[in-house]
Amino acid sequence: MKKSKHIAALLFVLSLSGFLKAQIALAPSFVFVDEKSGVGNLFVSNNSDKAYEVGINFAFGYPGSDVDGNLLMNYGDTLANAKYALDPMIRAFPRSFILKAGEQRTVRIQVIPQFRRKEGFYFTRMKVMAKPQIAELTDSVSQGIGTRINFNFEQITAVFYHKGEVSTGLNVKELDVIQNNGNLELRPRLERTGNAPFLGCMIAKLKDAKGKVLAETQSTTTVYFEEIRRMDLKLDKVTPGSYTLELSFESRRNDMMSTDLIQTPRIVHEKTVVIK
So what's the pLDDT on residue 2? Answer: 42
So what's the pLDDT on residue 16? Answer: 43
* Ranges of H-type helices in 73-192: 78-84
Structural domain spans, the chain = 25-163, 168-275
So what's the pLDDT on residue 216? Answer: 96
pLDDT at 105 over 90: yes
Largest CA distance in the chain: 78
Query: Mean pLDDT over residues 60-70, rounded?
Result: 92
- How far apart (Å, rounded) are the C-alpha atoms in residues 193 and 191? 6
pLDDT at 97 over 70: yes
Q: Which one-letter DSSP state was computed for residue 254?
A: T
**3-class state of residue 104 by DSSP:** strand
CATH class of 25-163: mainly beta
So what's the pLDDT on residue 146? Answer: 52
Confidence of residue 181 (pLDDT cuts 50, 70, 90): confident
25-163 with 168-275: one CATH topology? yes
CA 226 to mean position of chain CA atoms: 16
Confidence of residue 154 (pLDDT cuts 50, 70, 90): confident
Q: Which of 59-63, 138-142, 178-182, 212-216 has the lowest mean pLDDT?
A: 138-142
pLDDT digits 0-9 by tens, 116-151: 889 999 999 999 999 988 654 444 445 555 555 556
Q: Which of 10-19, 47-56, 164-173 has the lowest mean pLDDT?
A: 10-19
Q: Which of 205, 234, 200, 237 is nearest to 220 (CA)?
A: 200
- How far apart (Å, rounded) are the C-alpha atoms in residues 69 and 77? 18
Mean model confidence pLDDT for the chain: 87
Q: Which of 159, 150, 42, 58 is nearest to 106 (CA)?
A: 42
| Domain range 168-275, CATH architecture | Sandwich (2.60)
> Can you give the C-alpha Rg of the chain in angstroms?
23
How far is CA 171 from each of CA 187, 192, 273, rounded to the nearest angstrom? 14, 6, 20
- How far apart (Å, rounded) are the C-alpha atoms in residues 141 and 121? 55
